């Protein structure tokens, strides 16, 4: 069993933007439950190495961005977070949002992972769930009760597109937060994109 360190709107579906998938190494794609588990093993292994590197926070966050873009289906996650608002966005706005969102989510969850220093993540196993694989893990932190971290790996994309940390759904959380940010800016997507570049 591998051990690694790791501490908006409505329910409308979103269209995943294509392009980056074909550029990924073939080894990254998951076609079976075992391969999905292997992908998560590699993912948290890389996170482990970054946390143990002793680098500055800014350097670590740069590494986390690379890891998220390598293992995560960022175009899909960004499209889901934007939700129904993406219907009125131009192709250029969608592209800009996806790029800004990628940096934002990497910084946000990268900072969360840094809180796991000194603990470990145990990969328990994977199972098929509809058109995806659910990879269950348990996080053990010093002075805290163990809790569950679950990754969902797309059967076709072969990359993770969602994760639950202590039962909190990343996709739904980010859709809610992005929607609130857009509402605060009275629907000005361009303004929200600029602010997103500094958020996280």
Tell whether 79 is covered by a domain: yes
Mean pLDDT of 133-161: 90
- Answer whether residue 29 shows pLDDT above 80: no
> Would you state the structure tokens that stand for residue 47, as one six-digit string?
């996170």
Tell whether 134 is covered by a domain: yes
* CATH code for position 44: 3.10.450.710
Neighbours of 26 (CB within 10 A): 6
- Answer whether residue 65 shows pLDDT above 60: yes
Tell whether 56 is covered by a domain: yes
- Give CA torsion, residues 56, 61, 62, 67, to 10 deg: 130
The residue range of the domain holding 183 is: 3-7+35-196
**Average predicted confidence (pLDDT) for the chain:** 81
Mean pLDDT of 143-158: 90
**% of residues, the chain, pLDDT over 70:** 83
pLDDT of residue 200: 67
Tell whether 64 is covered by a domain: yes
- Answer whether residue 20 shows pLDDT above 80: no
Tell whether 26 is covered by a domain: no
Per residue in 100-140, pLDDT tens? Answer: 999 999 889 888 877 776 777 788 999 999 889 999 988 88
Tell whether 17 is covered by a domain: no
Tell whether 12 is covered by a domain: no
Tell whether 13 is covered by a domain: no
Overall number of domains in the chain:
1
pLDDT of residue 53: 81
Q: Does the pTM of the predicted model rise above 0.85?
A: no
pLDDT of residue 101: 94
């Amino acid at each position: 069993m591998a051990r690694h360190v790791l501490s908006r709107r409505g329910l409308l579906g979103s269209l995943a933007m294509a392009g980056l998938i074909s550029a990924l190494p073939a080894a990254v794609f998951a076609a079976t439950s075992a391969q999905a588990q292997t992908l998560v093993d590699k993912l948290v292994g890389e996170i482990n190495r970054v946390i143990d590197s002793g680098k500055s926070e800014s350097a670590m966050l740069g590494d986390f961005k690379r890891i998220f873009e390598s293992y995560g289906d960022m175009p899909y996650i960004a499209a889901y977070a934007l939700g129904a608002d993406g219907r009125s966005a131009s192709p250029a706005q969608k592209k800009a949002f996806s790029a800004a969102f990628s940096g934002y989510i990497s910084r946000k969850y990268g900072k969360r992972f840094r809180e796991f220093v000194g603990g470990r993540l145990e990969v328990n196993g994977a199972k098929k769930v509809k058109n995806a694989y659910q990879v269950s893990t348990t996080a053990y932190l010093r002075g805290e009760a163990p809790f569950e971290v679950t990754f969902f790996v797309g059967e076709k994309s072969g990359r993770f597109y969602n994760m639950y940390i202590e039962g909190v759904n990343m996709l739904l959380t980010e859709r809610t937060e992005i929607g609130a940010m857009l509402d605060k800016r009275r629907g000005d997507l361009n303004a929200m994109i600029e602010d997103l570049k500094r958020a996280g």
